[in-house]
Amino acid sequence: MVKGMTADFFPAKDLFHVIPADTSIGETPIEIHMKELKALFFVKDFAGNPDYSERKHFDPENPPTGRPIKVEFKDGEVLVGTTTGYQPSRAGFFVVPADVDSNNERCYVVAAATERVGFM
């Protein structure tokens, strides 16, 4: 896992660069190849809360925007959220988590890393 910032991530590109959060200014960014990823998580805070257990359901008081989706990764992790751009033929897609308190603002899911994807 690499925590850091990127300025050149585009879903259609095969690679992008990350400046790790713990590096000094001027150090060379790390090259990340999409084929090596499970997902790219756009987070609120690099530290997060390791004790927080993300809810896998939607708040009935706040109906979701987008199409509800459940993603099961090959490593067993499950992501529940909404998407506006899932198509099985694409290399990946964005998901906004169902849990508004999640540290993840959105995720880019690499389709090759998924076991099962289904609409809810």
Question: Phi and psi for 36 in degrees, rounded to 5?
Answer: -95, 0
What does the alpha-carbon distance between residue 86 and residue 92 come to, in Å, rounded to a whole number? 8
Q: What percent of the chain has pLDDT over 90?
A: 76
Query: What is the spatial distance between Cα 64 and Cα 96, in angstroms, rounded to a whole number?
Result: 10
Looking at residue 90, its pLDDT comes to: 95
Strand 92-97, strand 78-83: pairing:
antiparallel
Q: What is the pLDDT of residues 2-31, one digit of tens each?
A: 999 999 999 999 999 999 988 877 788 999
Q: Where are the domains of the chain?
A: 1-36, 37-119
* pTM, two decimal places: 0.91
Topology (CATH level 3) of domain 37-119 = SH3 type barrels. (2.30.30)
3-class DSSP assignment, residue 34? helix
